[in-house]
């Protein structure tokens, strides 16, 4: 199990820690900026939000404690995310014709833990609407982030996405990240 996944598992997922207004605002702004970057399909900017060993994780089950070596909806490091972006943005990517549009709303941002080095564990709720092929699909759920504090601000070591509707039937596979 990776360090970031271990920190999320060991953390009390209902914890609430007192933080300064500055820390709360910095975490909220980071999450809001991430949503905006995804909505605008600024893929290089999105990848830059992750640490070099960062992961995007969408487990297949709510009780999963690790993404390594087990079935997941997504368990992606930067290399796999780059590959998905190249595949989806290729001029001949029929699965992206016409291109989809996303709209994220992030709320209920709660800092669970602040480590001595400034790293934080934070949970939040989200709603993501995807418009594609004249239909709207809705994804809702909760995020948990393990954010590393760097001189350039926070970076995502691990983003866990638990969909409320993870077992729902879909007309097509999720191409992008929610």
What pLDDT is recorded for position 176? 66
- Whether the per-residue pLDDT at 90 is higher than 60: the answer is no
What pLDDT is recorded for position 76? 94
Reported as a pLDDT band with limits 50, 70 and 90, residue 175 is: low
The residue-averaged pLDDT of 61-90 equals: 88
Asked if 67 and 57 touch (Cβ cutoff 8 Å), the reply is: yes
Q: Of the candidates 90, 92, 54, which has an alpha carbon nearest to the alpha carbon of residue 74? A: 54
End-to-end Cα distance, the chain: 23
Residues 31-73: tens digit of each pLDDT: 999 999 999 999 999 999 999 999 999 998 888 988 998 988 8
Q: Return the CATH number of the domain spanning residue range 3-163.
A: 3.10.450.50
What pLDDT is recorded for position 89? 72
- Whole-number Å distance between alpha carbons of 145 and 131: 26
- Whether the per-residue pLDDT at 102 is higher than 70: the answer is yes
CA 62 distance to own-chain centroid: 15
The residue-averaged pLDDT of 149-169 equals: 91
Reported as a pLDDT band with limits 50, 70 and 90, residue 122 is: very high
Residues 123-149: tens digit of each pLDDT: 999 999 988 878 888 899 999 999 999
- Burial of residue 117 (CB within 10 Å: 0-12, 13-18, 19+) is exposed
Q: What is the pTM of this model?
A: 0.89
- Whether the per-residue pLDDT at 1 is higher than 70: the answer is no
- Whole-number Å distance between alpha carbons of 106 and 38: 12
- Whether the per-residue pLDDT at 78 is higher than 90: the answer is yes
């Amino acid at each position: 199990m990776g360090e970031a996944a271990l920190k999320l598992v060991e953390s009390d997922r209902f914890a609430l820690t007192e933080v300064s207004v500055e820390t709360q605002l910095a975490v909220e702004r980071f999450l809001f900026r991430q949503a905006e970057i995804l909505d605008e399909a600024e893929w290089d900017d999105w990848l830059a939000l992750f640490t070099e060993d960062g992961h995007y994780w969408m487990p297949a089950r709510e009780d999963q404690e690790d993404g390594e070596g087990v079935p997941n909806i997504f368990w992606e490091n930067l290399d796999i995310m780059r590959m998905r972006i190249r595949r989806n943005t290729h001029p001949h990517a029929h699965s992206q014709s016409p291109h989809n549009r996303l709209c994220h709303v992030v709320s209920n941002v709660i800092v669970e833990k602040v480590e001595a080095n400034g790293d934080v564990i934070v949970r939040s709720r989200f709603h993501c609407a995807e418009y594609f092929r004249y239909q709207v699909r809705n994804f809702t759920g909760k995020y948990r982030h393990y954010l590393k504090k760097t001189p350039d601000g926070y970076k995502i070591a691990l983003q866990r996405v638990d969909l409320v509707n993870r077992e729902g039937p879909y007309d097509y596979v999720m191409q992008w990240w929610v």
